[in-house]
Amino acid sequence: MRDGFDRILDIVRPEVHHLFSQEKMPDCWFKDLRDEQGVPIDQLEVVMGFLLSAAIGTTMSTIEWALVALAHFPREQAKVHAEILATLGGATIFLAPLYQARDTHFISDADQFIPDRYLREKIRERKSCPFSSKLDASVVRNQFGNGSRVCLGKRAAELEVRALVCELLSHYEVVLDPPSQTLPGIAATTVGVPKPFPKLRLLPRKS
């Protein structure tokens, strides 16, 4: 079986060759690597491959954990579904780092699944607290980085996850099958993924 990264290189290689062959292109990081830094085409293939691999891994793990949480906490799923129906534009999902979000030094009920704690009004309420407000620092809450070092795929990944969750919950209810399954552990790979991934069933919602 071929390595997964080889398959990713097969995807990016034609695009890299197409870009590399263009004599004129707008100012961008690819042009800088090619023209200013003299990075050869084979290295550009690897760079693009790593970028795509990182985008796939982080987005996939976020979607997996979203499905796990929705299935294990149907009341919260119902709230998200209601918000999707009410706003039409979908719901924003705020993700905090694993350890800070579960540290009772920052927030007393950290062991409870309360996604509402990351809504804007809750964030404003925490500003006066020197401990819980640390959850909302951009360097902690924004896993895509900031400024000139921000992840190139940040907006694409956020839109992808948001669109999938909104579309999924608009038409289906996510349930555990069987319902007796416990919350999964975390497998530490490039990103933390649920292990084992639970067995889920999508129940069509009545129109």
End-to-end Cα spacing for the chain: 44
Mean predicted confidence (pLDDT) in 38-52: 82
Q: How confident is the model at residue 202 (pLDDT cuts 50, 70, 90)?
A: very high
Domain boundary assignment for the chain = 1-88, 94-151, 166-206
Note the pLDDT of residue 45: 84
| 28 marked as binding residue | no
pLDDT at position 21 over 70: yes
> Strand pairing of 172-176 and 200-204?
antiparallel
25: its two tokens: 């292109």
pLDDT at position 41 over 80: yes
Percent of the chain predicted with pLDDT > 90 = 12
Note the pLDDT of residue 178: 93
String of DSSP letters for 104-120: TTT-TTTTS--GGGGSH
pLDDT 10s digits, 79-131: 888 888 777 554 454 444 556 666 777 777 777 888 888 788 888 888 887 76
Q: How confident is the model at residue 1 (pLDDT cuts 50, 70, 90)?
A: very low
DSSP 8-state symbol, 100: H
- Cα separation, 113 vs 101, whole angstroms: 10
pLDDT at position 175 over 90: yes
Percent of the chain predicted with pLDDT > 70 = 82
Of 27 and 199, the structure prediction assigns the larger pLDDT to 199
32: its two tokens: 């800088």
Q: Could you tell me if 184 and 195 are in contact, meaning their C-beta atoms sit under 8 angstroms apart?
A: yes
pLDDT at position 24 over 50: yes
Note the pLDDT of residue 174: 93
Note the pLDDT of residue 199: 93
Number of Cα atoms under 13 Å in the Cβ half of residue 69: 18
pLDDT at position 34 over 60: yes
How much is the pTM? 0.48
